[in-house]
Amino acid sequence: MVDVEFLLALSPNHPKHSSVRRILEGEEGVIVTDTCLLWLHAILLAAGKTPSETRLAMITLRQILEDYGVKEVGTMGSELLILHSSIMGKYGLSFFRSLIAASALILGEPLVSDDTSYDSIEGLVRLPLTTSE
């Protein structure tokens, strides 16, 4: 399961783009959750993108994900929101980081991210997006 930084790094100009390409071209079963897509959508709008520009960005993203066989998975529900609230309270993670962590825990999937704030969450396995080769 990927974090929002993975989606942002799909941009060819992003410094982590080569790491994302390596994963997309070498791994099967890459998952993106509804919570991750929601965070990206919020980031685009907060960055001043118009609803029309955001729509176009999400259409483009969907095509890229389909081209690489990335599976979109829904996790939103009362179980997620209960766990989300627990994570925010216990670990002090932000609203969206807590949503991502809760999704990973519900799915039982490791989280691909360079964000070390996830490391403190009991039961969550984080796999680095970038390698220090």
Question: What is the tens place of the pLDDT at every residue in 99-120?
Answer: 999 999 999 999 999 999 999 9
**Exposure class string for 20-31: b at 16+ Cβ within 10 A, else e:** beebbeeeeebb
CATH 3.40.50.1010 fits 4-127, yes or no: yes
* Cα–Cα distance for residue pair 126/115, rounded to 1 Å: 9
Nearest to 109 by CA among 97, 120, 96, 100: 100
Nearest 5°: phi and psi at 33?
A: -95, 165
Q: What is the mean pLDDT of residues 77-82?
A: 97
Q: Where are the domains of the chain?
A: 4-127
* Cα–Cα distance for residue pair 74/17, rounded to 1 Å: 25
What pLDDT is stored for residue 133 in this prediction?
Answer: 45
